[in-house]
Amino acid sequence: MAVRTYSPPWRRALGYLALAAFALFFLGPFLIQLATSFKTDADAANNSLSLVPNPVTYGAWERIFGFTDAAGLPFGRWLTNSVIVATFITLGRVVLDSLCGYALARLRFPGRQAVFWSVLGVLAVPGAVLLIPRFLVLKELMLFNSYPGMILPIAADAAGIFIMRQFFLQIPPSMEEAARIDGAGVFRTYWSVILPLARPGLITLTILSFQGSWNEFQMFLVATSDPQYNTLTTGLAKFSSGQLGSGTQYPVTLGAALLSTIPVAIVFFTFQRHFIGGQLSSAVKG
Nearest to 206 by CA among 101, 88, 94: 94
- Alpha-carbon distance of 150 to 144, in angstroms, equals 8
Over residues 169-182, the pLDDT tens digits come to: 988 888 888 888 88
Q: Which residues contact 31 (CB under 8 A, 6 or more apart)?
A: 51
pLDDT of residue 280: 46
pLDDT of residue 3: 52
- Alpha-carbon distance of 176 to 194, in angstroms, equals 7
Q: 114-118, 219-223, 249-253: which range is least confident on average?
A: 249-253
175 with 53, same domain?
no
Question: What percent of the chain is predicted at pLDDT more than 90?
Answer: 33
Residue 70 domain-assigned (yes or no): no
pLDDT of residue 184: 80
134 with 39, same domain?
no
Q: 54-63, 139-148, 218-227: which range is least confident on average?
A: 54-63
pLDDT of residue 71: 55
Asked if pLDDT for residue 271 goes beyond 80, the answer is: no
The count of structural domains within the chain is 2
Residue 1 domain-assigned (yes or no): no
pLDDT of residue 66: 72
Over residues 188-236, the pLDDT tens digits come to: 888 888 888 888 888 889 989 999 999 999 999 999 999 899 999 998 8
Is the Cα torsion angle 251, 256, 261, 262 positive or negative in sign?
positive
Asked if pLDDT for residue 1 goes beyond 50, the answer is: no
152 with 247, same domain?
yes
60 with 94, same domain?
no
112 with 134, same domain?
yes
CA atoms within 13 A on the CB side of 112: 12
Question: In which domain, by residue range, is 198 found?
Answer: 75-282
114 with 220, same domain?
yes
Nearest to 40 by CA among 53, 29, 28: 53
Q: Which residues contact 155 (CB under 8 A, 6 or more apart)?
A: 88, 89, 92, 93, 96
Asked if pLDDT for residue 243 goes beyond 70, the answer is: no
Residue 4 domain-assigned (yes or no): no
Residue 257 domain-assigned (yes or no): yes
